Amino acid sequence: MERQVSKPAPLKHDILQAKRANRRAVKDKLTQLGVSFGGIMVFVALLLIFFYLLYVIKPIFASASITPQASISLPNTSSNVLMVGSDELHQQLYRVTDDGGVDFVDVAKQQVTHQTLAIPAGVAIVSQARSMPSQQLFAFGLDNGQMLLGNVNFNVSYPNNQRLITPNIRYPLGVPLLTIADDKQPLKQLAFAYSQKKLSFIYLDNSQHWQLLRMDGEENLLTEEIDWQSEKSVLPDAPIHVAQQKITPDHQQAILLTTNKAFIYDIRNPNSVSLLQVLNLERARAKVTDFELLAGASSLLISYSDGVVAQYFQVNQDGGRSYQFVREFAELGNIQQLASEFYRRSFATVAQDGTLKLLYTTSERELLAEKLPLQHSRALAFSPRADALIAETADSLQLFSVSNAHPEVSWSAIWQQVWYEGYPEPQYVWQSTSGSDDFEAKLSLTPLAFGTLKAAFYAMLFATPIALAGAIYTAYFMSPQVRSVVKPTIEIMEALPTVILGFLAGLWLAPLVESHLPGLLLLLILEPIAILLVAFGWAKSPAVIKQWLPETYQELMLIPVVCFVAWLSFSLSPLVELWLFHGDSRLFITNTLGLSFDQRNALVVGIAMGFAVIPTIFSIAEDAIFSVPRHLSNGSLALGATPWQTLTRVVLLTASPGIFSAVMMGLGRAVGETMIVLMATGNTAIMDWSIFQGMRTLAANIAVEMPESAIGSSHYRVLFLAAFVLFLFTFVFNTIAEVVRQRLRERYSSL
């Protein structure tokens, strides 16, 4: 009898299968939810980065605002006011009048304290002058040939741990009076410049000659007192009727303003004073009403009766440096007062109807236009931090709080050419810091964006042919045994830290390229020729010779060829340099070709960054080519096509979406690269496509300057704008890659 084997009941088997199916369904659902959640969180993270960058960037494009803070009635306003101002926190205001009085105003207490300057009895004031706003100096010329030089000073103390500001008048020379004219002639139309060990004065004497007095101080090592030596001369060819006069704070120039001309004198050496330039300020149907020196004293601001303020500064020309008209600001009304900031290139105007306008010269922005109770204003000034405006009207001194954090930034200043002070023409410039207090930040992102594209271009020019050719050969022609070694090896290269590549490029490759430039050029010519000759020779070799090296490892014979050609090229470099470049290739490039040559240049960056990009392009492109269905290539070969025809007309077309994605991914990697361009270039923000010059990229600039930027400053926020631009670059490239990839897939999906 046959033994019957018991089988599980069908119902139990079905239950087990159902449980397994349910578990699989739950796992599939959890996996789907996890992948979806991960994708959504990636998208959310990108959005958060996008909006955070916008949040940091937005304030630099905000307009200025002004708010009335206080209005203090003045007991005596019959005298003309020479200057007004405040301390840094605008808790104490001051006004200096032309009769030698100084009023200090406590804003919190609404209290006015009057102080009279030390002017001798029976001596009259015949002229007044004030310095640049940042110095807060004033001077009075007396009819006995003496001058009073004073400085508004604010002492800060902390009694009972409370801040106390005490205003006073300080005399920089130690004594209030200084004799200028020994013959006791009155000092009419006085102007001065003061620094710690130098004094300069100009004034008009009784014979209608403009006198220049220069006093140079030298500290006595024994007494620690300053001994003054004076020199005197006459300004030649001076005009008769002068409306205003000034001396630049650096003691280099004296400026005499007439009704329509400005006479500029070189006073650096009192023994050889010369007339540098007569600047024509004429405008049709308009008269010059006022002029001020902009912060830094490099620019002249000229106001006209038709509501225009023009800016002039010195520019290098054929005959030397001379003042030139640069830009103008129109429709400012009937200007009553003109005031410039202490350190920035902002200025304010007040029209007769009380309209206040705040403008910035370099960015050519109108930051504010607001009508205020400033009709018939008599004086206007900024506080030291430019966060307040002090204005005097007919009977009161008014204080306004000003919010104007980033006046130097505008879309035109960031992306267009800007004419900066001292530059011969409008240019794209990135220069964010300097050792000078008068420095104006130049924050153009155009040279940085240009440098980013330049570095990416040369890297892709080097990497794309090598990576795609290697991917095609590895995926289609190479034997599986060799491919299993080559592909992982190249992919491991992608894990190599870019800081190592940058280090090697800057310290080893750059000097090597500079000293063997002809050899490198020879290598680019001989290497492909040698490879083609060896391949042709191998194809024509008899079968006996081909048996020496198995077909599986034929490509390995190119390794010694490549190494030998590289050695030969660099060995022949001195001979080629002597034969073609007269023994000095760098001198030939700079003198004969007229090109600049930097040791760390785009050629070095292209090679170093190319090695970083090659693994990315190779890996993606090789996978795309290797993944082409075999039945397509086999069918093409079966129909009589050669392997090369099959590759170019079937395989590459089918794999074109993946190949294009590989190139675009490599481009995105090159655009965002930081350490290689940081270490292998001179990091100079220039706009030149020359392969022998360096560049500065957005990523490298952020890495270099972000640690030293002050949080919340214009520099800080523009660096975030640079990061936003870099974010957009990669987003645009990836979007283009995806769109093109989809279209290529649709076009060749029928193959």
CA of 358: how far to CAs of 310, 338, 364, 382, 404, in Å? 15, 10, 11, 11, 9
DSSP state of 286: B
Which structure tokens are listed for 360? 């910035």
Q: Count of H helices and E strands in the chain?
A: 18, 31
Whole-angstrom distance, CA of residue 626 vs CA of residue 472:
9
- Taking the whole predicted model, whether its pTM rises above 0.75 is answered as yes
Q: How many C-beta neighbours within 10 Å does residue 326 have?
A: 19
Whole-angstrom distance, CA of residue 213 vs CA of residue 232:
5
Query: Quick one: 729 exposed, middle or buried, by C-beta within 10 A (0-12, 13-18, 19+)?
Result: buried
Whole-angstrom distance, CA of residue 186 vs CA of residue 180:
10
CA pseudo-torsion sign 635, 638, 640, 641: positive
With helix as H, strand as E and coil as C, how does 583-649 read? Answer: CCHHHHHHHHCCCCCCCCCHHHHHHHHHHHHHHHHHHHHHHHHHCCCHHHHHHHHHCCCCHHHHHHH
First to last CA, the chain: 63
Confidence at residue 446, expressed as pLDDT on a 0 to 100 scale: 93
Q: What angle do CA 352, 357, 358 make, to 5 degrees?
A: 145
CA of 539: how far to CAs of 471, 546, 550, 640, in Å? 22, 9, 14, 21
Whole-angstrom distance, CA of residue 473 vs CA of residue 483:
10
Transcribe 528-555 into DSSP letters: HHHHHHHHHHHHHS-HHHHTTS-GGGGG
pLDDT along the chain (751 residues), means of 10: 53 77 86 89 89 91 90 81 91 90 90 87 89 90 90 89 88 86 85 90 89 86 76 89 91 91 91 91 86 88 91 85 90 90 91 92 90 89 92 90 90 90 89 74 91 92 92 87 87 86 88 88 89 84 73 77 90 87 83 84 90 91 87 84 85 86 88 87 86 90 89 91 90 81 72 56
In the chain the domains, ranked by start, together with CATH numbers, are: 65-415 (2.130.10.10), 448-510+600-748 (1.10.3720.10)
Confidence at residue 6, expressed as pLDDT on a 0 to 100 scale: 54
Residue 85, H or E segment: strand 81-86
Residue 671 and residue 733 in contact, taking contact as beta carbons nearer than 8 Å: yes
Torsion on CA atoms 23, 24, 30, 31, rounded to nearest 10: 150
Which structure tokens are listed for 483? 């491919």
CA pseudo-torsion sign 598, 599, 603, 605: negative
CA of 152: how far to CAs of 126, 137, 428, 471, in Å? 21, 7, 40, 76
Three-state DSSP class for residue 406: coil
**Strand ranges (DSSP E) for 131-209?**
137-142, 146-157, 164-170, 177-179, 188-195, 198-204
Contacts of 209 (CB under 8 A, 6+ apart): 234, 235, 238
Which structure tokens are listed for 669? 């990697």
Residue 683 has φ and ψ, to the nearest 5°, of: 55, 40
